[in-house]
Structure formats: C-alpha cells, structure tokens
A and B are shown apart, each in its own frame.
Chain A
Amino acid sequence: MSIDLLVQALLNGFGLAMVYVLVALGLTLIFSILEIINFAHGEFYMLGGYITYYAYALFGLNYFATLGLAILTVGLAGVAAERLIFHDLRGRALNAFIVSLGLLWVMQAGAQLAFGVLDKPVPSAFSGVVRVFGLVMSVERVVVTLSAIVLIAALYLFLRWSRPGRAMRAVAQDPDAAALQGVNIDAASALGFGVGCALAGGAGGLLAPLFAVSPAMGALPVVKAFIIIIVGGMGSLPGAVLGGLLLGGVEGLGALFMGSAAVNILGFLMVIVVLLVRPRGLLSGA
C-alpha cells in the first residue's frame, strides 16, 4: 500500500466533500431557524439537478448562469414550501417529520412523472484531468469543489454581515428575544428555509454534470448531510466543514481497505461514537 495510493484515496474522499457540506449547511440552517428536520431536503437537491439538465444540457445556457438559476429557483421553491407547509410546524419535530416525508414522496414521484424515470446525463462543463505529483483529479471536480467553497464562504459572509443574515442568526439563537428586538420571525423563517433549499439546489447543480440526474438522486446526499451535521455539530458552519472533511476522509480511506457495506457501517459508527462522546457535535456552540 503505497503512500501515493493513500493520498489519492484521501483526495478522493475530500474531493466532493465540500459539495455535501453545502447540502448539510442547508439542512442545518433550516434546523436552526425552524427547529425541524426537513427530510425532503434531498428533493430540493434533485430539483437543482433537473433545472441544470434542462437549462444547461438541453437549452444551452452558460453553466454558471445555470447554477445561479438553479440556486434562485430552488430557493424560491423553498420559500413557497415554508409558507404553504412548514410555517405552522415550527418546533413540532414529529409532525414536521411526517409532513416533510410526504413532501419527499410528492416531489420524487412528481419528478418521475414529469421528467421520466431514466437517468439523464448532463455534459461536463470542463474536461481534462489535472495531475500533480502522481495524483489525479479531474478538472471538473476541482472546479466543483472550488465553487462549493465559494458558496460556503458567501453563506458565511451573508450570515455574519448582512441584516437578513443577522436576523436569521438571532432567530436561531433565541426566537423570543429576536421577536422582542423587532425581528420579523415569519420573514426570517421563510428566508432561512429558502436559503437552506437554495444551497441544496446549488449542490444539485454542481453535481449534475458529474453524476447525471434521476428522480431518486436526493436520497444519498441527504444521508451524508445528516452524518456531517451530527459529527460537526448542528447549527455550526465550521462544524459542517469539519464533519464533511472527516466523513470524506473516512470514506476515501475506508474504500481502500474494506467493502462498501463496511464503509457505510463505518460512517454510522462514527455517528454513534460522536453522539455518545460529544452529542452536540465536535464544533458546536457556534
């Protein structure tokens, strides 16, 4: 087992971790502001993928413009979902669980009926391969990872410096105090849900050329997102990044030494260990 192989394995794992972090951040944002877990989150990711397929693969729009379109459209869809469905469920986790499950089924079945059941390929926007010190990475993956990092940074700045971002953080910390301070809770909730879904949609758009789009494509990223949030800490942005790197590293290295089922078990064991040792996550308290 050469060092090269080990490093390549780690690189493989990290490579797309940042995109899964995007999905995780969306989920954790929604959890912080509305105190509910949105199980349909993967379907918003899927929506972003299909928008990319139609706008970029079929219609020919510029890739980055498509990405922007996907982020915006899915964000609006998220706001609509919050206003119509999740609005009254703030804090009612069990009910929100059932409702988001229903939404998941509606969206997935709807996508299958509307878009067809076969995988739809999306052409790569960037071709070629980068070789550095014997390690390989496709240009596409590098661009995708960098784009994800840009989006994560943008989210951070938005939450930290903008008014709506700070309002959302206030609601996440203490909704009553925020209300007393004049923050419009309803607006912050809708915006929070929208931004959370927009992140998922962006992730879907980024991964579409790599992985093709299909109605059930949202299932796996959501599971990864859960693992990432639990390990890193719910409600923590740096925690999600750390969680993503840890999961990526474990999966990348794990694949070298054991079968896929065992690697999956590894991910869940990691979750169990973290929940027992530091239930709030490694970097919680943000």
Chain B
Amino acid sequence: MSGPAAGVALIALTAAALPLITRDSYYLDVATTILMNLTLTMSFRLQISTGQINMAHISFMGIGAYASALLVTRAGLSFWATLWIGALVAASLAVPIGSIALRVSGPYYFLITFAFSEVVRLFFNNFFEGLFGGPSGLVGIPKPGRVLGLAFDSKLALYGLMAVMCVVVVLALVRLDYSRFGLTAGAIRQADLVAETLGVNVFRYKLTAFVLGSFVAGLAGVFFAHFRQVLHSSDFGLEPMVLLVVFTVIGGTGSVWGPAVGTILMTIASELLRELHHYEILVFGAVLILTMLFAPEGLVALPSAARRLLRRRRRQATAPAGAGLAP
C-alpha cells in the first residue's frame, strides 16, 4: 500500500507546509479553493470509475450548501452539526435522483444528469425566494463557530479546516479505489454486462458511488457556504460543473490521482491567466485544446506514456535491420 499512502502523505505534507511559506490572504484563498475542488473532483472521479459522468455532481454541493446556510441562519444550528446534516441531506436526495438517472447509461446518463442539474439550479434561482434568496442570492452566512477552543474566523483557520477535510476524503477515496470496491468499479466501467453475468449487482455499485460522491459534494458545499458567506445559484450551475470535468479529465480519469494533478495545475494556471485580463478566456480555451490533443490520457499519464515511448525507441534501436516480425 505504499504507492497510495505516499500520495496521500504528499498531499497532506504540501497542505501543511503551505502556511509556513506564506500567509498571504490571496494565496490562502486559492489554496483553499484548490483543496475544496479536490474533494469535488475526486468524488466526481469515483463516479466516473463506475462509468458514469454525473453532470449533477455540483447540484449536490449546492444542496449541502443551501441546507447548511438555512439551518444556521434560520434555525440557529452550529456549523459543526450542519456539516454532517447538509451532507446527509445531499446524500438522501441522491438516492431517488440517482435511482432515476441510473436507469439509463452512457451519453443518455450524461444528458439526464445535465437536465437534473439545470432543474435544481433553476429551482434555487427562482423558487422559494424567501428561503434561497432568488436571483439576489443568499447573503450573511456566518463563518463556522468556535469548537474545542478553536476559532475559525481567519483565512488560515478556514484553510486548515478544508485541508483536514480534504486529506480525510482523499484517504477514504484512495482506500476505496484500491479495495475490492475499486476493482469491481473498474470492471463495471470496462464492461458492465460482463460484470453483471459474473454476479455483480451493477446498479447497486453505481448507486453507491453516486450517493457516496454526493455526500462528499455535500460536505464541500457546506464548507463553501460558510467560507464564501454568500450563495448564488450560478455557483452550482453549468460553468463550475464544467470546470470540475475539465480538471478531472485533464488530470486523467484512469488514475485516482488524475483529479489531484488536474485540479492543482489547472487552478494555478487559471489564476495566472487572470493577468491577461481580456485574453484570459481565450488562452484558457487554447490551453484546453492543446493539452487534450497532446496528452489525451491526461497529464497524470504523461510519465508512463513517456516511459513506454522510451522503451519502444530503445527496442527499435537494438532491433535487427530489415522488416522481420514487428513486436
């Protein structure tokens, strides 16, 4: 288990080291966003590992966010309780929605989850304005309250909280990926009919991944609500969802570390691109196209692709001249 443990340790160490290098509020903000997006992309990838591209992933983040925001501002509950309640609300709603969506597969699943996500977004934007704030959004959400003598008012404290949450989630998801669940998920992704004939309850696996992923998304959503302190339906719409897909795919869906590589590199890249002002979007689009064309398996696959290439080159160099039977 040294490979995955090393990966988790690396993330934990980097996250712990950052505040020692800088206390700049902006860098902490970006780092906190990266960690939050990491929990989202890794849980998204969990679902991809069972062959489902769930475009409603961000909706569950929103459900967790609004649930917690309302429970704290209206019912006076503490963030430390709503963290779990919000995630549970998201997970519970994931059961019926997932059950419906999983009746189809492939591109149809992609489209039906997209349709669900738009319905949820429109719901938060236009209905029950007294509760959700309507198009003006929900404002005045407080930061997490004190717990165990620790205050969470500062950027640093919030960063620390997200870092701990992220490491825990990553640990859990990596262990899951390397367990029997992960292997079965892989089999389902490759050929679910075959898996079915081998006695695997494909539907149950997919639904578990869906609900589990939604629980994590809900957790991230609760954090988001009390970190940004302002909620708007556009935070849970197509644009942010698409970014999650970009991070995951550019990182590489083949490995559990793909999302980590993709999220970290692409977030840093897009922050650097802010300097280009008007040209930011243009260059970002070009980066996407080039990266996908030149690294189709994702960035995480680059080292092994390079290794394979080297091996092939070396074999070719020592092969006898003439056609022969190519390996």
Residue-wise interface mask of A (258-284) relative to B, using a CB-CB cutoff of 8 A (1 in contact, 0 not): 010110110011011001100110000
Complex: A133 Cα to B165 Cα, angstroms:
66
A162: CB under 8 A from chain B? no
Q: A28-64: which have CB < 8 Å to B?
A: 37
User: Do A99 and B126 contact each other (CB < 8 Å), given the known contacts A264-B118, A269-B119, A272-B115?
Assistant: no
B162: CB under 8 A from chain A? no
Complex: A268 Cα to B249 Cα, angstroms:
26
Complex: A229 Cα to B61 Cα, angstroms:
29
A101: CB under 8 A from chain B? yes
Complex: A37 Cα to B104 Cα, angstroms:
18
Complex: A159 Cα to B119 Cα, angstroms:
36
Binds A, one of B15-23, B148-156, B280-288, B316-324: B280-288
Complex: A166 Cα to B158 Cα, angstroms:
61
User: Do A97 and B249 contact each other (CB < 8 Å), given the known contacts A110-B282, A268-B115, A276-B104?
Assistant: yes
Q: A68-110: which have CB < 8 Å to B?
A: 85, 88-89, 92-95, 97-99, 101-110
A113: CB under 8 A from chain B? yes
Tell me, rounded to whole Å, the shortest Cβ–Cβ distance linking A228 to chain B: 12
User: Do A94 and B53 contact each other (CB < 8 Å), given the known contacts A102-B288, A105-B284, A275-B104?
Assistant: yes
Residue pair A103, B116 in contact (C-beta under 8 Å): no
List chain B residues, Cβ under 8 A from A113. Answer: 278-279, 282
Interface residue count for B (Cβ, 8 Å)? Answer: 36
Tell me, rounded to whole Å, the shortest Cβ–Cβ distance linking B136 to chain A: 14
Residue pair B288, A268 in contact (C-beta under 8 Å): no
B111: CB under 8 A from chain A? yes
B234: CB under 8 A from chain A? no
Chain B positions near chain A (C-beta within 8 angstroms): 53, 100, 103-104, 107-108, 111-112, 115-116, 118-119, 122-123, 125-127, 242, 245-246, 249-250, 253, 278-279, 281-282, 284-289, 292-293, 296
Tell me, rounded to whole Å, the shortest Cβ–Cβ distance linking B107 to chain A: 7
Residue pair A99, B112 in contact (C-beta under 8 Å): no
List chain A residues, Cβ under 8 A from B104. Answer: 275-276, 279
Complex: A103 Cα to B108 Cα, angstroms:
23
Complex: A262 Cα to B125 Cα, angstroms:
11
Chain A positions near chain B (C-beta within 8 angstroms): 37, 85, 88-89, 92-95, 97-99, 101-110, 113, 226, 230, 234, 259, 261-262, 264-265, 268-269, 271-272, 275-276, 279-280
User: Do A104 and B285 contact each other (CB < 8 Å), given the known contacts A109-B279, A264-B118, A271-B115?
Assistant: yes
Given A102-B287, A109-B282: 14 more A-B contacts, CB < 8 Å: A94-B245, A95-B292, A95-B296, A101-B246, A106-B285, A109-B278, A109-B279, A110-B282, A234-B107, A268-B122, A272-B112, A275-B111, A275-B115, A280-B108
Tell me, rounded to whole Å, the shortest Cβ–Cβ distance linking B299 to chain A: 12
Complex: A280 Cα to B108 Cα, angstroms:
8
List chain B residues, Cβ under 8 A from A109. Answer: 278-279, 281-282, 285
- Cβ-closest chain B residue relative to A260: B126
Complex: A268 Cα to B162 Cα, angstroms:
35
From A85, A88, A106, residue with most partner B Cβ within 10 Å: A106
Select one of A88, A94, A104, A106 contacting B253, CB under 8 A.
A94
